[in-house]
A and B are shown apart, each in its own frame.
Chain A
Amino acid sequence: MSPTVADFFHNSFRLPESLAYLTAAVIHCVLIILVVAVGALLFIWLERKVSGRIQDRLGPTRVGGAFGWLQTLADGIKLIAKEDITPKDADWLLFKLAPYIGFAASYCAYIALPFADGWAARHMNTAVFFILAVLGIEVFSPILAGYASGSKWSLFGAIREAAQVVSYEVPLGMCVVVPVFLCGTMNLVTIGNMQAGLFTNWLVFNDPFTFVIAVVYFTCATASVNRAPFDLAEAESELVAGFHTEYSGLRWSFFFMAEYGSMFLVSGLAAILFFGGWHGPIPIGEILGDFLAYVVTPLVGIVAWLLSFVFKNVHTADHVAVAGHIANSLGCLNFLLKGLIGVTVMMWVRWTLPRLRIDQVMTTCLKYCVPIAAICFLGALGWRVADWTTGADIPLVGIHYGKGGRGMVRESWVEQTQSAKVAENDVPDAPITDPNASDGPTGSVEQSPDELLTMKGGDQ
């Protein structure tokens, strides 16, 4: 079992197990809420800045000094101070509930999103599935808001949202399935780690089909989080403001927090599924990792030794873990940067393109996205089968560096089968069907240390 935050509390502070887990859960939740809330603040500010620059304006400049970085906070204060209006015709319970459903769904999905190797609030073997499922709940928020508002324009927005999001879930799911079956796991940490190494190892460059799939995924993700040109549910020029026409103040802002939260979520998911997750385009991390192992770790060891006076239970093995966490935080930056790029692209698209019409949105989904996703799904599958049966590693780009990559991905099935067998023989308690459980490929004694390093999944 890998050391978790709960273990840390349990071992170091001698907390009872239940209390240790509760503390850990609170810490995780607070961290996630902080990340998402601060993220939303940042993205709203960024949106204003990006749109300003695109439109030859400056955007916010005053609040908070240079770059107006406190603008969102000022907006937030304004929104809190605003009157909270519930229309007379509204179904007050649903009307008040709706913003929080979207908000909660958007935040919940972050539980399974790893920010770096193993840095997830909850390790899940079904992280991909969990995120998609929870994001699917978010659609209730606009539907309920539109239905409960007692306004016809809101109702239009709600119906559009329902039609659109339900349709786009289909190609979105198809796109997500491709990396899942290429890596043979739904565990996002494992998927991310399989793409270590040079950027040619990223799944987007795995074969031509995954490249197309990545583009389709991004399109569908944009649609499923209701961003332009698919923002029909809140189409200003047609439906006044769509489902949130009747909302004001803080309740209104919750819709936006949810929207920006989901934006980063789908971008982050894209980063992990297709763009190498927390691995940079050039494996500086690995090079640096070696550097850390030989130069920095001894220094950290001294610090850890000093710390050991405070935390009695620190073992020597923890030195390596600390070094790994430092490397991981660089990976986290990588991941955040990739997510940020995805969000910025969404903003760029929003401020450039006109909005599609509802029938065109549905056409895009049903006539283009679904068939393309389906064909690419089959294509990627065929490519994999050809690869697997012939045993030939046909590189798309030709350069491979590092420990992950296509070879890695290709062998993942074999490895799993092997390690599953090993697990079966050696550790009867370990899960047999899914060796990539959060505690990694258990007891795979036959594996070389190299493989262990790359397969270690979310564990330090």
Chain B
Amino acid sequence: MATQLDDPRIIEFDVRTDEMLVNMGPQHPSTHGVLRLVLRTDGEIVSEVEPHIGYLHRCAEKIGENLTPRQWIPYTDRMDYLAGMNMNLGWALAVEKLVDHELSEKAKHLRVILAEMGRIASHLVGMGAYGLDLGTFSPFLYAFREREKILDLFEEACGARLTYSYLTPGGATADLPNGWLQKCEAFLEQFEPIIQEYHALLTTNAIFVKRTASIGVMSPEMAVDFGCTGPVLRGSGVDYDLRRDGEERYTEMYDGYAFEVIVQKDGHYPRDHDYPAVPKEAVLGDCWHRFYVRMLEVVQAIDIVRQAIDRYSTASGDYGVPIKLTQKLPKGEAYLETESPRGQMGFYLISHGDSIPWRVRARSSSFCNLSVTSDLCRGCLIADVPAIVGSLDLVMGEIDR
């Protein structure tokens, strides 16, 4: 049975039954929160998918227009609740851009450590939840087992396990506690071999490959057209990563770090000699590639954290002093995008010279990534819908804000 059709209306031999309209979500186990997909199905074949959002809307942006930048930090945590550190970082950098605050070396490396650890934690959830979408439970718990250790580290650093509010405009709320770096290194040491376990359970698993390879293929052009970013974009083979191609204020954090953008070039991923080869069935831009990019980014993040730990322990300066709670913002506007685990996360604020910004907006990566679902899911089977939506690794908190 063809699962991907150019024209979904032409089903094999044009045998069709009555079309049925079904709601997948908002209370559905595989929609990662409260996404609602309206499927028009013809038997098992999905002819149309329409995502409906807004079930998790909390007016976060409007609240931001009534709070000072530092007060709004906790709200950024709750946008992408799986990568709170990265969201803190994005907002902090945008505010710093507006007030033109320069950071010490040490603060920059501190931020790199935490942002990349946050990326590992987020990708672990993405990986585990993707396993759930495909009907395997164990990888989820294997992923959470390791994520717990990252959360322990975060808890030690800032006292919270999910909503950190740690990186603030001006630096961080506190320095890392004594011995934290050693613990972090020990964790990385212990964690790195475990990635092979994930590859054995998912990446190279025959059923997993069958379920993901050649499913939801997105061409590079399409990915760019829809504004997809992050692993979704790189999974389609577009060489674009804001840590390298972003704004000066963001990329200078990563100056001097040895890292490669994880993207397939000439049929090879960087560092893929250590890791399973791309299966024959996989096509660039399919669910398998999006998943694999995430897996390799975890490895890469480990590498970056190790470098950052070395640099942090020798860097000059302090961890950065947060700007005052009621500091007046200069008149003007600032927009800055960072590479969050899910892609391009932009924060925009306009100030009229008050301590409270006049406008606050966020550009969410998951929102753009979600927009491709209708096109990717057209003509696939019902079982492919969770596979495709899961491979986009959506967080509804970030989409609805």
A400 at the interface (CB under 8 A from B): no
Of the listed stretches B108-116, B133-141, B300-308, B334-342, name the one at the interface; the rest are far from the partner chain.
B133-141
Question: In the complex where A153-B22, A238-B386, A240-B29 touch, is A354 in contact with B1 (Cβ < 8 A)?
Answer: no
Question: In the complex where A55-B141, A153-B22, A352-B201 touch, is A237 in contact with B210 (Cβ < 8 A)?
Answer: no
Q: Are A237 and B137 in contact (CB under 8 A)?
A: no
- Chain A contacts for B28, CB-based, 8 A: 240
Q: How many residues of B contact A (CB 8 A)?
A: 33
B207 at the interface (CB under 8 A from A): yes
A353 at the interface (CB under 8 A from B): yes
Question: In the complex where A235-B135, A357-B210 touch, is A56 in contact with B383 (Cβ < 8 A)?
Answer: no
A351 vs B139: C-alpha distance when bound (angstroms): 9
Q: Are B211 and A51 in contact (CB under 8 A)?
A: no
Q: How many residues of A contact B (CB 8 A)?
A: 30
Q: Are B383 and A354 in contact (CB under 8 A)?
A: no
How far, in Å, is A200 (CB) from chain B's closest CB?
A: 32
- Chain B contacts for A386, CB-based, 8 A: none
How far, in Å, is A239 (CB) from chain B's closest CB?
A: 8
- Chain A contacts for B211, CB-based, 8 A: 354-357, 360
B331 at the interface (CB under 8 A from A): no
Q: Are B381 and A357 in contact (CB under 8 A)?
A: yes
A51 vs B383: C-alpha distance when bound (angstroms): 24
Q: Are B30 and A55 in contact (CB under 8 A)?
A: no
B208 at the interface (CB under 8 A from A): yes
Residue of A nearest to B208 (CB): A354
- Chain B contacts for A55, CB-based, 8 A: 137-138, 141-142
Question: What 1/0 mask marks residues of chain B from 197 to 221 whose CB sits below 8 Å from any chain A CB?
Answer: 0000110010110110000000000
Question: What 1/0 mask marks residues of chain A from 327 to 369 whose CB sits below 8 Å from any chain B CB?
Answer: 0000000000000000000000001111111111000000000
A160 vs B44: C-alpha distance when bound (angstroms): 9
Question: What 1/0 mask marks residues of chain A from 30 to 72 whose CB sits below 8 Å from any chain B CB?
Answer: 0000000000000000000001001111000000000000000
Residue of A nearest to B137 (CB): A351
Question: In the complex where A55-B138, A55-B141, A228-B135 touch, is A353 in contact with B382 (Cβ < 8 A)?
Answer: no
A152 at the interface (CB under 8 A from B): yes
A426 at the interface (CB under 8 A from B): no
Residue of B nearest to A239 (CB): B382
B374 at the interface (CB under 8 A from A): no
Partner of A352, one of B132, B133, B138, B385: B138
A236 at the interface (CB under 8 A from B): yes
- Chain A contacts for B1, CB-based, 8 A: 359
A435 at the interface (CB under 8 A from B): no
- Chain B contacts for A356, CB-based, 8 A: 207, 210-211
A103 vs B12: C-alpha distance when bound (angstroms): 38
Q: Are A156 and B382 in contact (CB under 8 A)?
A: yes
Partner of B141, one of A57, A232, A352, A355: A57
Q: Are B137 and A238 in contact (CB under 8 A)?
A: no
Q: Are A237 and B141 in contact (CB under 8 A)?
A: no
Partner of B383, one of A152, A238, A240, A353: A238
Residue of B nearest to A362 (CB): B1
- Chain A contacts for B381, CB-based, 8 A: 357-359
Q: Are A238 and B382 in contact (CB under 8 A)?
A: yes
Residue of A nearest to B215 (CB): A357
A160 vs B136: C-alpha distance when bound (angstroms): 19
Q: Are A359 and B3 in contact (CB under 8 A)?
A: yes
- Chain A contacts for B202, CB-based, 8 A: 354
- Chain B contacts for A229, CB-based, 8 A: 135, 207
Q: Are B134 and A355 in contact (CB under 8 A)?
A: yes
Q: Are B207 and A235 in contact (CB under 8 A)?
A: no
Question: What 1/0 mask marks residues of chain A from 227 to 261 whose CB sits below 8 Å from any chain B CB?
Answer: 01101100111111000000000000000000000
Q: Are B384 and A357 in contact (CB under 8 A)?
A: yes
B20 at the interface (CB under 8 A from A): yes
How far, in Å, is A439 (CB) from chain B's closest CB?
A: 49
Partner of B135, one of A51, A56, A152, A236: A236
Q: Are B22 and A237 in contact (CB under 8 A)?
A: no
- Chain B contacts for A351, CB-based, 8 A: 136-138
A235 vs B28: C-alpha distance when bound (angstroms): 12
Q: Are A235 and B137 in contact (CB under 8 A)?
A: no
User: Which residues of B (215-235) have their CB < 8 Å from a CB of A?
Assistant: none
A57 vs B148: C-alpha distance when bound (angstroms): 13
Question: What 1/0 mask marks residues of chain B from 143 to 167 whose CB sits below 8 Å from any chain A CB?
Answer: 0010000000000000000000000
Partner of B207, one of A232, A237, A354, A359: A354
How far, in Å, is B25 (CB) from chain A's closest CB?
A: 10
By CB atoms of chain B within 10 A, which of A51, A55, A356, A357 has the most?
A357
Question: In the complex where A55-B137, A228-B135, A358-B44 touch, is A235 in contact with B208 (Cβ < 8 A)?
Answer: no
B285 at the interface (CB under 8 A from A): no
Question: In the complex where A56-B145, A237-B30 touch, is A358 in contact with B137 (Cβ < 8 A)?
Answer: no
How far, in Å, is A91 (CB) from chain B's closest CB?
A: 18
By CB atoms of chain B within 10 A, which of A237, A353, A354 has the most?
A354
Q: Are B141 and A353 in contact (CB under 8 A)?
A: no
Q: Are B136 and A238 in contact (CB under 8 A)?
A: no
B131 at the interface (CB under 8 A from A): yes
By CB atoms of chain B within 10 A, which of A56, A153, A231, A238 has the most?
A238
Partner of A152, one of B20, B138, B201, B205: B20
A87 vs B138: C-alpha distance when bound (angstroms): 33
By CB atoms of chain B within 10 A, which of A51, A232, A355 has the most?
A355
- Chain A contacts for B383, CB-based, 8 A: 232, 235, 238, 355, 357-358
Question: What 1/0 mask marks residues of chain A from 207 to 229 whose CB sits below 8 Å from any chain B CB?
Answer: 00000000000000000000011
A153 vs B21: C-alpha distance when bound (angstroms): 11
User: Which residues of A (125-175) have their CB < 8 Å from a CB of B?
Assistant: 152-153, 156, 159-160
Q: Are A354 and B382 in contact (CB under 8 A)?
A: no
9 contacts between A and B (CB under 8 A): A57-B141, A228-B135, A229-B135, A235-B383, A238-B385, A240-B29, A355-B134, A355-B211, A358-B44
Partner-A contacts on B (CB < 8 A): 1, 3, 20, 22, 28-30, 43-44, 131-138, 141-142, 145, 201-202, 205, 207-208, 210-211, 381-386
Apart from A235-B383, A238-B386, 12 more pairs, CB < 8 Å: A56-B142, A56-B145, A152-B22, A237-B30, A352-B138, A353-B136, A354-B202, A355-B134, A355-B207, A358-B44, A360-B207, A360-B210
Partner-B contacts on A (CB < 8 A): 51, 54-57, 152-153, 156, 159-160, 228-229, 231-232, 235-240, 351-360
